[in-house]
Amino acid sequence: MKQLPPDTVRLLSSSQVITSVVNVVKELVENSLDAGALNIDVKLENFGLDRIEVRDNGHGIKAVDAPVVAIRHFTSKICSHEDLEHLETYGFRGEALGSICAVAEVAVTTKTEADDVSIQYSLDSTGTIVSQKPSHLDQGTTVSVTKLFRNLPVRRQFYSSTKKCKEELKKVQELLMAYALIKPELRLLLVHNKVVIWQKAKAADDRSALVATLGSGIVPNLLPCHQRQEQPKIIIDGFFPKPGVDCSSTSSSTPEKTFIFINNRPVHHKEVMKLLRQHYSAQYPEDSARHRYPIIVIKITVSPSAVDVNLTPDKTQVLLHNKEAVLTAVEALLVSLYGFRPGSDLPPEQQLNHETLPPPPLQTDASQLKNKRSDVRDDNVLTEAETHADSAQSSDVSLERQASNTSSSSSVSKSPERRGHADVSAAETRKHQISAEDWSRGTALVDSVSGEPLQPIVILQPSTPSPSNSDEAKIQRSPGKKMLNAITEKPAALTAYDMIRNRTTRSPLSPVALFEKDTRAEVLREKPAASLQDISIAVQEKWNILGEGDRKKYEEKARKSLQHYNQKTTAEGLREPDEKAPRTKLQGQKRKPPLSNQQLMDQLFARPQKKPKAPVSRPSWPVPCSVPALRLQLQRLSSQSSGAPRGLHLVNQLASQSTWVILCGQRLMLLNPFRVEETLLFKRLLENNILPSVSLQNPVQLTDGSLGGAEYVQTLCNMEKQNPDLTGGVLFSDPRLVANGFKIKLTAAERHLEVTEMADCVPFLGVEDLREILTAVHHRKASTVRECRPLKVTNYLQAEAVRLARQLPITLPREDVEQIIRRMEQQLGESSHICIHGRPFFQHLTFRVVTQKPGVLHMSSYQ
């Protein structure tokens, strides 16, 4: 036997931890959450195979911890095994980043609050830092993973099909949706190939996070629920489908929208999922609901010491110490919401036997729920329940219960006493079974007191009326007065539906129409491809050449059709409703009342006549009023409100739009904050943005001809320069050149100008744009960077401003809009209120004018 090399051991163990793109994203996102991040951006290229970048605004990594950040089994989450009993973080093993380094290339950029600049660390396959350099990123950590599975070609080949890649991208989105539900304050963004796939803004509460994640069409059909149990301590929160709602709007064919969390960790728990599906589908009679998954968000919180998370590498499966108690609490919540249906999962013959058996001894609700769930889960658990009937009723831990169940099931087969007890129970069960013959004869159900078969229900008649009510009794027994059956009969009334015939009467056809009806089929057989116009022309030609005898036949048919139509319309017009006919016939066929107990039912269910209530007199009292005093008060109020409030004041946001209603003096206007933000970003980019330049393989020579004349060369030479280098060359450091992506050098030996570096982010940037800069400096005396921007650079910065503005959330909070208005007033003033596309920030709605005359106040509104 030989010991494997360390590189092989590291690769084998890492390929078990990092099995897919979802695992990489999950480990990095959980590290961001453990660092207290509130903003997380996930960017993928080529479905994550070429690049995965996770950026957050967490606490960052300290400089002293950077050398061991990717070394296996180095972690800041726990210190010993005992810390797992109080675990509050997602990660704890210290294997994620080291395993990623073994199967990909990793770079980590981080900055803490105490650091001045961020540092980018490049890591090798062992997690050791090989290089570092400063970066421009803000506080937080950015992990870039490139060339995933570069040394595992078989696993990389697994993602060669587009279908597998799209499924992996969908799994990443579902993972981020789960964290969005459990962390409402979290802002998430998923980008694939520079296209935003899914995003979620910060939410105030769980319901808002649910709306932002699942959509506003699903949340109204969900019901928030809460349950708390002390011994053992179990808290269940979540959103469940409302009972009775259409299953198509509260369920799906796949389990992707059934979210199960245990201690804020998204997990896959088969038994909890089975309970949720059973109780949800039991309320629908059709079988189609049994194969669907309910849209549920359930959060189970237990003691950290009662959960074993270290079960699988991805930590999506957990082991519960008190599993039976957790399942009982979940089922109790589902029963309280959807009701208890003991026979929903049993065959019909077992349901009948279950209903006719004598009631079991009194037990607690928890034990009833345990027995029901055990019947549903496994048939062998019924024997376990019988062997443990005399044991303690408190729930045991799952490991101990499994051990006790194993020992007790083995003792059942060996003990003769228990075998005899089981035989007696089986005999009693057979004794209480109902045969089909007894059921048909009506002797299946027997009275336990008299021993006779049970009889149908008998309606008891109330006592006879007292002598004082003898007149009323005579009226009720009067044979001439017909009693109204309040159950089976309703007073008939003539409705619009009764006045509409159920058969249509066709209007009579003319001789030409009758001839066309008979001839159209013949024309179509002769010319199958003929159009409607050709068919009409052919029929008309045949009618014109038709003989006199045939034409008279069609005229006779038309005359008979008209005569038949006139007879029908005359008969319907002369028909009048029969007043002597019983009114109940207007309502159609009525349900025949039962033959027995009819008069007794009329007496029991007849509605008593309501006595009209006497009108209640309302109290009133005089109030002193002075018209001159009221006029004086109105004059004072109008004088106080005559001065219009100055500045812009937010009123409210429109519900269906992203615009805001603002008040400017006496005018109401609509504000589009995104147009303002675009303009502010564009102004800041024009003034401060520096285009990054790259070195040119062949420097571009600058002459009088290329720049447009000697005066432009002189203008360029007069710009600000750096100190000469060792070779005597001088680089231009003027911000008007550097900000636009040009780095120009003046050589000392040959005394000529050349462009050594140029920005590559602006398409087709060249010497013509440099000439624009020099023209602005020479002719317009431009001294700032904003005045010297070429047209191509201006258009590029305008597109960048639009792109940055579109990354904002659709619904902005009130504080952000107020801040945008303040920045607009400070930077733009009142002169320019037009966005970069030429559209105004404000749209006028209405204004109110207040005029005052002596003793009279007039207010009018103009639209």
Lowest model confidence (mean pLDDT) among 180-184, 578-582, 836-840: 578-582
β-pairing, 667-671 with 293-294? unpaired
Identify the residue with better confidence: 512 or 143.
143
Q: In what order do the strands lie in the sheet with 258-262?
A: 222-229, 234-241, 296-301, 258-262, 265-266
Query: Mean pLDDT over residues 544-568, rounded?
Result: 86
Tens-place pLDDT, residues 264-282: 889 988 899 999 988 888 8
HSE-up of residue 454 (Cα within 13 Å, Cβ side): 9
Q: What are phi and psi of 190, to 5 degrees?
A: -120, 120
Identify the residue with better confidence: 746 or 417.
746
Give the pLDDT confidence score for residue 849 in this predicted structure.
47
Cα(832)–Cα(12) distance, integer angstroms: 64
Lowest model confidence (mean pLDDT) among 236-245, 261-270, 344-353, 802-811: 344-353
Q: Is 745 helix (H, G, I), strand (E, B) or coil?
A: strand
The answer for residues whose C-beta is within 8 angstroms of residue 674's C-beta and 6 or more apart is 658, 805, 808
Helix axes 416-431, 398-414, angle to 10 degrees: 90
Lowest model confidence (mean pLDDT) among 342-351, 584-593, 613-622, 662-671: 342-351
The token pair that represents 448 in the structure block: 């336990």
Q: What is the DSSP string of 566-592?
A: HHHHHHHHH----SSS-GGGGG-SPPP
With beta carbons less than 8 A apart as the criterion, state whether 60 and 138 touch: no
Query: Mean pLDDT over residues 362-376, rounded?
Result: 41
β-pairing, 105-111 with 118-123? antiparallel
Lowest model confidence (mean pLDDT) among 89-98, 309-318, 591-600, 622-631: 591-600
Element (H, E) at 241: strand 234-241
DSSP type of residue 747 = -
Q: How confident is the model at residue 427 (pLDDT cuts 50, 70, 90)?
A: very low
With beta carbons less than 8 A apart as the criterion, state whether 810 and 656 touch: no
- pLDDT over 90 (residue 189): yes
147-167: b (≥16 Cβ within 10 Å) or e: ebbeebeeeeeebeeeeebee
The token pair that represents 415 in the structure block: 């003990």
Cα(383)–Cα(368) distance, integer angstroms: 15
The answer for residues whose C-beta is within 8 angstroms of residue 637's C-beta and 6 or more apart is 857
Tens-place pLDDT, residues 680-689: 999 999 999 9
Cα(634)–Cα(628) distance, integer angstroms: 10
How far from 732 is each of 2, 736, 748, 782, 831, CA to CA, in Å? 64, 10, 13, 17, 36
The token pair that represents 397 in the structure block: 């831990």
Give the pLDDT confidence score for residue 365 in this predicted structure.
42
What percentage of residues in the chain have a pLDDT greater than 90?
Answer: 18
Query: Mean pLDDT over residues 426-443, rounded?
Result: 62
DSSP type of residue 269 = -
Query: Mean pLDDT over residues 730-754, rounded?
Result: 85
Tens-place pLDDT, residues 698-710: 888 888 888 888 8
Query: Mean pLDDT over residues 47-60, rounded?
Result: 92
Cα(324)–Cα(302) distance, integer angstroms: 13
With beta carbons less than 8 A apart as the criterion, state whether 228 and 200 touch: no
- pLDDT over 70 (residue 431): no
Cα(237)–Cα(585) distance, integer angstroms: 57
Measure CA 637 to chain center: 50
Identify the residue with better confidence: 110 or 355.
110
Cα(124)–Cα(743) distance, integer angstroms: 35
Q: How confident is the model at residue 367 (pLDDT cuts 50, 70, 90)?
A: very low
Tens-place pLDDT, residues 751-796: 688 899 999 999 889 999 999 999 999 888 889 999 999 999 999 9
- pLDDT over 60 (residue 624): yes
With beta carbons less than 8 A apart as the criterion, state whether 204 and 198 touch: no
Q: How confident is the model at residue 604 (pLDDT cuts 50, 70, 90)?
A: low
Query: Mean pLDDT over residues 798-810, rounded?
Result: 88
Closest by CA to 677, choosing from 658, 692, 663, is 658
Q: What are phi and psi of 43, to 5 degrees?
A: -120, 130
Lowest model confidence (mean pLDDT) among 307-311, 361-365, 830-834: 361-365
The token pair that represents 221 in the structure block: 């059909």
Place of tokens 């006045």: 499
What percentage of residues in the chain have a pLDDT greater than 70?
Answer: 71
Closest by CA to 113, choosing from 141, 140, 143, is 140
Element (H, E) at 21: helix 21-34
Q: What is the 3-state secondary structure (H, E, C) of 156-217?
A: HHCCCCHHHHHHHHHHHHHHHHHHHHHCCCCEEEEEECCEEEEEECCCCCHHHHHHHHHCCC
Give the pLDDT confidence score for residue 853 in this predicted structure.
44
Cα(21)–Cα(27) distance, integer angstroms: 10
